[in-house]
Amino acid sequence: MNKGEETRARLVGAARELVEAKGYHGTGLNEVLAVAGAPRGSLYHHFPGGKDQLIGEALTTAGQEVDALLAELTASAVTVGRLVHALLEALAERMVAADYAKGCPVATVALEVAGSGGSLRELCGDIYAGWQQVLVHALEEAGHEPAEDLAATVLALIEGALLLARAARSRVPIERTGRRIDVLLGS
């Protein structure tokens, strides 16, 4: 990786860390530059589309990390219930490690841009749709029908549990949701 690529990666990483904890509106470009240790000119050089382009790439990176986690869990999980529990636990551990400052890596921005017609709202929707499709496939493989409805419900339960856990600064909502998912999946 050359120096320009390293700078670009640091900017995306800094944006990702900040936006997940503080949201789109709470993340300033000066703060991203400070965290990344990058000069102002590099921001506009690497992201001529400005803040939306930078945040979009940070969200894409976060989405890809969860995609990789889902692929790993899907390959190793014996049942769809274990897959969902492993995903919920991985996200919970990440949240606790961040002292409840982070939950789902997309949710904070998704909530802020939900009322807009912009590219970030579409990107958040696409990321969620990809995760949901993985769940649809796992549920179909396990014989659950209608898998689309069940996958949407499971993803909504996971997202809601993470939000409630962050607000309460407690794992209890996650544990309760895990038990209800067991019932829902017949585990």
Phi-psi domain of 118 (left: phi exceeds 0; alpha: psi -120 through 50; beta: other): beta
- Residue 111 covered by a domain: yes
DSSP structure string for 72-139: HHHHH-SSHHHHHHHHHHHHHHHHHHTTTS-SSTTHHHHHHHTTS-SHHHHHHHHHHHHHHHHHHHHH
CATH number at residue 140: 1.10.357.10
Instruction: Report yes or no on 32 lying in a domain.
Output: no
Residue 127 lies in a domain: yes
Q: Which domain holds residue 129?
A: 55-185
Q: Can you tell me the distance from the alpha carbon of 134 to that of 122, in angstroms, rounded to the nearest whole number?
A: 19
> Which pTM does this prediction carry?
0.92
Instruction: Summarize pLDDT for 53-77 with one digit per residue, the tens.
Output: 999 999 999 999 999 999 999 999 8
Is 6 among the domain residues?
Answer: no
Q: Give the total number of structural domains in the chain.
A: 1
Whose CA is closest to 58, among 111, 12, 119, 104? 12
**How do residues 92-120 score in pLDDT, each as one tens digit?**
999 999 999 988 889 999 999 988 878 99
- Return d(Cα 75, Cα 71) in angstroms, integer: 6
